[in-house]
Structure 1
Amino acid sequence: MTKDIKIAIIGVGGVGKAFLGQLASYIKKNSSTVSISVVYISRSSAALISRDYAPLPLTTFVSEELDAAGTAPLAVPDLIQFLKSSGKESILVDNTSSIDLASTYPEFLKAGIHIATPNKKGFSSEESLWTAIFSAAGNNGGSGGYVFHEATVGAGLPVISTIKDLVDTGDEVTKVEGVFSGTMSFLFNEFAPVGASGAPKAFSEVVKIAKDAGYTEPDPRDDLNGLDVARKLTILARLSGLEIASPTSFPVQSLIPKPLESAATSQEFMDGLPNFDADIGLLADEAKKEGKVIRFVGSIDVPSKAVKVGLEKFDISHPIAGLKGSDNIIAFYTKRYGDRALIVQGAGAGAEVTAMGVLSDVIKIVARIK
């Protein structure tokens, strides 16, 4: 019997567009075993709605089609009712970073609607929301929909699934350490590369290179404040069994000079950043004299319940020191693996790999649907 599944997609930015393309290919390849219809596509200001539940065309022109449709997005209760009225299993794909939408996940799950998302906000905000999501979800034997969020940490890298497999099979995670931000990885691989010769680049110069290349957020302060890494650490710490109140409940080092925290615009911040190059340059020089490099990392020490995010020195022979480009590296130390960590490494950012992580979660849900 062919499974019949309806999908609602919210968010058609870089990740959303990449996801649409990958989903279209998956549907075409698996049409003989599963019938998947995308019946709702929206962004903040417009929506495409298939009132008769016929599949919407998955084209590269979705943004233009949304503009032409002139239809407002459905409110959450109406979207839940729309999906339930199909009489079929349904999946919400949230490709946004909206805390408002993430806060409604328990409502979707209680209604039996499954969720696949790269949105970190629902899993790294207040602990009460984390508890509400997984209390409603069917992942742990409950009656609600399934929820998967692989791409909330490491994009398409198998980070969430790895730590869940370790914990679910009875292993005990003792420490997690790594570079969790593609942006921060690129910045410090450029700023303090291993074996570099010649005059080093100033930190402000590297930030500008990264910004111009699209590696940072439009306002680089959204990367340099360390909160993105803190959210990822919050998720992994909770999966390791720690009770973490929020991403601001443990030490997070910000690389934004205090006088520039209140800069009115991104450009004002960028213009002022060269005035503070000497500070971080001194740290890099000190590390170099010790045969080390500085990297922006996160770490979780489970026995001591210590979580922190910030700059650390690493010997040039250390795997973290040898990263290239915007790669992530996450090392899991456990009772079974001992001092020889289980390491996950690779591209940890980018629309295509993030969309792959979301699609893999959709496939997991499809496999679990009876």
Structure 2
Amino acid sequence: MANTLYLGIVGVGGVGTALLEQLGRLSNPPKLVLLSRSTKTLVAQTPSYSHSIPFEAWEIAAAAPSITTVDALAPEDTAAYLGSAPGRSILVDNTSDLTLAKAYPIFLKQGISVVTPNKKGFSADISLWNDIFASAADGNALVYHQATVGGSLPVLSTLRDLMATGDEIVKIEGVLSGTLSLLFDTFMPAIGKSDAKWSSLVAHALQIGFMEPDPRDDLNGMDFARKLTILARVAGLQVTGPESFPVTSLIPNELLSLPLSAEGIAQFMLELPNYDEDMEVAKLKAEEEGKVLRYIGSIDVSTGEIQVGMRHLDRDNPIANLKGSQIVSIYTKRYGANPLVLKGGGGGGEVTAMCVMSDLLKVMEGLA
């Protein structure tokens, strides 16, 4: 019993469902004793924790014997339940919930390790970042959040490995949004030309499900900025938050006041074509320099300067030739002028779940 690992999973959407499928293939998985979504939570009957929830879709898992369905638990109650298990416990948070992320220290102080793709806690105020890792040390727990940056790319682990072996990070730059990568490459390809209007490309990306349900969540640059904040902190910078550095929004100023509702989204898409000329002007300026327009982020570690926004790049620049994928170039003292480049596809439910599973396996190994 002492060697048994107890698992709680919060979030059973695309990532959570794919993770359950992947967990079901393990020969020696942890014991799943809590499975939670927005309004309901499944728990294995206590106090023995002898039963486990099957790694199945929610409806099947809820129908299993000795499984109790209760209203969604508050983070503190979830921590209390997992902390009472007769062995080491792990929380997997598949949500984007800031409230749960703010509670990570509660879990960690009780020795409950945390695995998550949730960017909110690691890009919020620096005090929470510091509290998370201090609490992990106090509780002898582990924290893994590889999937918060770069989708399937091992960006954070690579940065940590470089620094752990004594290398010095000089600069980091790249594209951390598959959506914006695709939009800009189609709007202004490195090879050839495109007459497509910006608003039509946004509408198409939204239609095929390549954007967030509210396209403004992609176009305002803040998701990109959260990822850059995490990168900067791993590189050793005490960045207070994503609002502390310049982020260029692709939302016209005149449309910023539209409500965050279905009606607001519809109105935004209806009015966006009226501002296509702004992007055409930006494209023309890049063309006049013989370059292409791209949306990138950069971190100068030596000066602490961080920026997210549109830049003019040479057509043979690796970043200029992306097609919906992500890329991170890491300049270090050892690598000199030739950066270490990580490039690949973005996220998606199965890919993100794979990253979460990889982190979970590391935690399981570390707790064994």
Aligned position for 2:52: 55
- Give the RMSD, CA atoms, in angstroms: 1.8
Which stretch shifts more, 282-291 or 263-272? Answer: 282-291
Deviation of the 1:156 alpha carbon: 2.0
Aligned position for 2:291: 292
Question: Distance in 2 between the 1:320 and 1:284 partners?
Answer: 16
Aligned position for 1:89: 88
Instruction: Check the 8 A contact 2:40/2:70 in 1, yes or no.
Output: yes
Aligned position for 2:12: 12
Structure 2 counterparts to residues 208-287 of structure 1, below 5 A: 208-264=203-259, 265-287=264-286
Structure 2 counterparts to residues 142-181 of structure 1, below 5 A: 142-181=138-177
Question: Distance in 2 between the 1:13 and 1:186 partners?
Answer: 25
Deviation of the 1:359 alpha carbon: 0.7
SS of residue matched to 1:308: strand
SS of residue matched to 1:299: strand
Show structure 1 runs of 4+ deviating over 4 A.
63-70
> Quick one: which amino acid aligns to residue 55 of structure 1?
S
SS of residue matched to 2:111: coil
Instruction: Check the 8 A contact 1:150/1:158 in 2, yes or no.
Output: yes
Deviation of the 1:212 alpha carbon: 0.8
Aligned position for 1:316: 315
Aligned position for 1:110: 109
Question: Distance in 1 between the 2:219 and 2:192 partners?
Answer: 23
Instruction: Check the 8 A contact 1:6/1:38 in 2, yes or no.
Output: yes
Deviation of the 1:261 alpha carbon: 0.9
Instruction: Check the 8 A contact 2:7/2:90 in 1, yes or no.
Output: yes
Once the two structures are superposed, residues 115-137 of structure 1 have per-residue CA deviations (whole angstroms, 9 ceiling, x without a partner) of: 00000011100000000001111
Deviation of the 1:356 alpha carbon: 1.0
> Quick one: which amino acid aligns to residue 189 of structure 2?
P
Aligned position for 2:350: 352
Instruction: Check the 8 A contact 2:170/2:301 in 1, yes or no.
Output: yes
Deviation of the 1:171 alpha carbon: 0.8
Cα distance change on mapping 1:67 and 1:129 into 2, 3 Å:
farther
Question: Distance in 2 between the 1:218 and 1:368 partners?
Answer: 38
Paired residue for 1:330, among 306, 311, 328?
328
Instruction: Check the 8 A contact 1:46/1:66 in 2, yes or no.
Output: no
> Quick one: which amino acid aligns to residue 287 of structure 2?
K
Structure 2 unmatched runs, 5+: none
> Quick one: which amino acid aligns to residue 119 of structure 2?
K
Instruction: Check the 8 A contact 1:106/1:137 in 2, yes or no.
Output: yes
Cα distance change on mapping 1:247 and 1:135 into 2, 3 Å:
same
Cα distance change on mapping 1:143 and 1:42 into 2, 3 Å:
closer
Structure 2 counterparts to residues 170-209 of structure 1, below 5 A: 170-197=166-193, 199-209=194-204
Deviation of the 1:225 alpha carbon: 0.5
Once the two structures are superposed, residues 223-276 of structure 1 have per-residue CA deviations (whole angstroms, 9 ceiling, x without a partner) of: 111000100111111111111111000000000001111123111000000000
Once the two structures are superposed, residues 194-247 of structure 1 have per-residue CA deviations (whole angstroms, 9 ceiling, x without a partner) of: 2124x5210001101111111111110111110001001111111111111110
Instruction: Check the 8 A contact 2:295/2:309 in 1, yes or no.
Output: yes
Question: Distance in 2 between the 1:81 and 1:317 partners?
Answer: 55
SS of residue matched to 2:91: strand
Deviation of the 1:70 alpha carbon: 5.4
> Quick one: which amino acid aligns to residue 42 of structure 2?
L
Deviation of the 1:13 alpha carbon: 1.1
Instruction: Check the 8 A contact 1:47/1:66 in 2, yes or no.
Output: no
Once the two structures are superposed, residues 252-309 of structure 1 have per-residue CA deviations (whole angstroms, 9 ceiling, x without a partner) of: 0000001111123111000000000011111112212332111111000011110010
SS of residue matched to 1:320: helix
Which stretch shifts more, 242-251 or 79-88? Answer: 79-88
Q: Percent identity?
A: 47
Structure 1 unmatched runs, 5+: none
SS of residue matched to 1:115: strand
Instruction: Check the 8 A contact 2:62/2:69 in 1, yes or no.
Output: yes
Question: Distance in 1 between the 2:140 and 2:98 partners?
Answer: 21
SS of residue matched to 1:248: helix
Deviation of the 1:84 alpha carbon: 2.2
Instruction: Check the 8 A contact 2:123/2:227 in 1, yes or no.
Output: yes
> Quick one: which amino acid aligns to residue 10 of structure 1?
V
Aligned position for 1:73: 72
Once the two structures are superposed, residues 164-221 of structure 1 have per-residue CA deviations (whole angstroms, 9 ceiling, x without a partner) of: 1111111110100000011111111221112124x52100011011111111111101
Deviation of the 1:3 alpha carbon: 3.9
Question: Distance in 2 between the 1:111 and 1:336 partners?
Answer: 40
Question: Distance in 2 between the 1:38 and 1:200 partners?
Answer: 53
Instruction: Check the 8 A contact 1:156/1:355 in 2, yes or no.
Output: no
Question: Distance in 1 between the 2:13 and 2:359 partners?
Answer: 19
> Quick one: which amino acid aligns to residue 193 of structure 1?
P
Instruction: Check the 8 A contact 2:116/2:147 in 1, yes or no.
Output: yes
Question: Distance in 1 between the 2:63 and 2:120 partners?
Answer: 27
Deviation of the 1:18 alpha carbon: 1.4
> Quick one: which amino acid aligns to residue 190 of structure 1?
T
Question: Distance in 1 between the 2:40 and 2:116 partners?
Answer: 20
